[in-house]
Amino acid sequence: MNVLITGANGFVGRTLCARLVDKGWSIKGVIRSGKHVARLPAGIDIVQIESIGPDTDWSQALENIETVVHLAARVHVSEETAADPLSEFRYVNTAGTEHLARASSEAGVRRFLYVSTIKVNGECTIDVPFTERDEPAPQDPYAISKWEAEQSLQRISSETGLEIVVVRPPLVYGPGVKGNFLRLLKLVDRGIPLPFNMASNRRSLIALDNLVDLLVLCIQSPQAVSQTFLAADGEDLSTPELIRSIAKALGRRARLFPFPPVLLCLGAKLLGVEEITSRLFGSLAIDSTKVKKLLNWDPPVSVRDGLQQTARWYLSNQ
C-alpha cells in the first residue's frame, strides 16, 4: 500500500506514520518546508511543501499514491491574529483540501481519508450525544472551514469517483499532546487547586492510539467508503473525573474544591476566556455506535491506559 500523509510530523501524523511503516507500507510524509523531521520514523519518504492552499503543487507528492490521509490543517488558536479568521481558515482547510482532493483524483489516487473535527456537529451536547445523523452546526471559523471541506469532498467524490472517508474526532490526547490538555497536565502535576469539583458534565475523548487504529482501519476497509464516522474512547468523563484520573496517572493527589459554575463562567466571560470554561463545564458526548458496528471497531486502549501513557510521556519530558 502506498500512502501519502499530510501533517506527517504532527501529533497524530508521527504515530500514524510509525504504525504504517511497521505494517511494511510505502509512506510519503508531507511536512512544511523548513520543519524539523528528526522525530519521523525511518523509512518515510519526506516531501516538503511551502504551504497548503488552492495553488499548492502536489504532483511530486502524489506520484504512485493509492491513499491520501489528510491531517494537515490550520487549527484553532486561542489568540487569533488574522484580521479575517474565517478567510484564513477557508484558504487552508477548505480550498486547500478541495485542491488536494482534485489533484489526488487526477493522479489516480483511490481513497481520500479526511480527518475533520467533532466541532462540525457543534460545541456541546445537552441530553443526547452527537451522532453522524445530526445536522451539522459548526460555530467557529475553524469548524465552519472543516465542514465546508467535507461538503467539497462529497462533491468531488460524486464527480470523479474518488473514495471519501471522513472521521470527526473529539479532543485527542496521548504522548506529545499540546494545548489545553497539556496545560491541565501541568496544573495537576504542580498541585494547583482547581475549582471544578461541582462540574457534572460528560465529555468524550479519544486516545491517540485509538484514533490511529481507526485511521488504519479506514484506509483498508471497503465498508468505510463514503462514510462519516464519529469515534471516541467509549468512556465519557466529567471534568472532576478527568482531573482525578490524570492525578492518579501522575502519582499526584487531585486538589479540587467546589465553586459555583455560574460564577466561574461569568468571570470567564468578563475576562474574555469563556470558551475555556464552556469546555470545562459543558458536555460534549459522542455516540460511536456506527463505526463500531459498520467497521467492527473497538478502541484497543482504555481511558485509564491512555492517560497512563500520556502521564509517562509527560513525566519523562520534565
* Rounded-to-integer distance, Cα 17 and Cα 203, Å: 28
Q: List the beta strands (DSSP E) in the chain.
A: 2-6, 26-32, 44-49, 67-70, 111-115, 163-168, 171-173, 205-207, 227-230
Read off φ and ψ for residue 259, nearest 5 degrees: -155, 135
Conformational region of residue 118, where left means phi above 0, alpha means psi within -120 to 50, and beta covers everything else:
alpha
CB count within 10 Å of CB 141 equals 20
* Rounded-to-integer distance, Cα 237 and Cα 190, Å: 22
Tally helices (H) and strands (E) across the chain.
12, 9
Please identify which residue in the block is written with the cell numbers 513525566. Answer: 315
Please identify which residue in the block is written with the cell numbers 467508503. Answer: 225
* Rounded-to-integer distance, Cα 187 and Cα 175, Å: 17
Q: Which of 114, 142, 173, 314 is catalytic?
A: 142
**314: annotated active-site residue:** no
CB count within 10 Å of CB 178 equals 9
* Rounded-to-integer distance, Cα 43 and Cα 28, Å: 9
> Which long-range contacts (C-beta less than 8 Å, at least 24 apart) are formed by 237-242?
237/202, 237/203, 237/205, 237/303, 238/199, 238/200, 238/201, 238/202, 238/203, 239/196, 239/199, 239/201, 239/203, 239/280, 239/281, 240/196, 240/197, 240/199, 242/184, 242/203, 242/205
Could you list the active site residues? 142
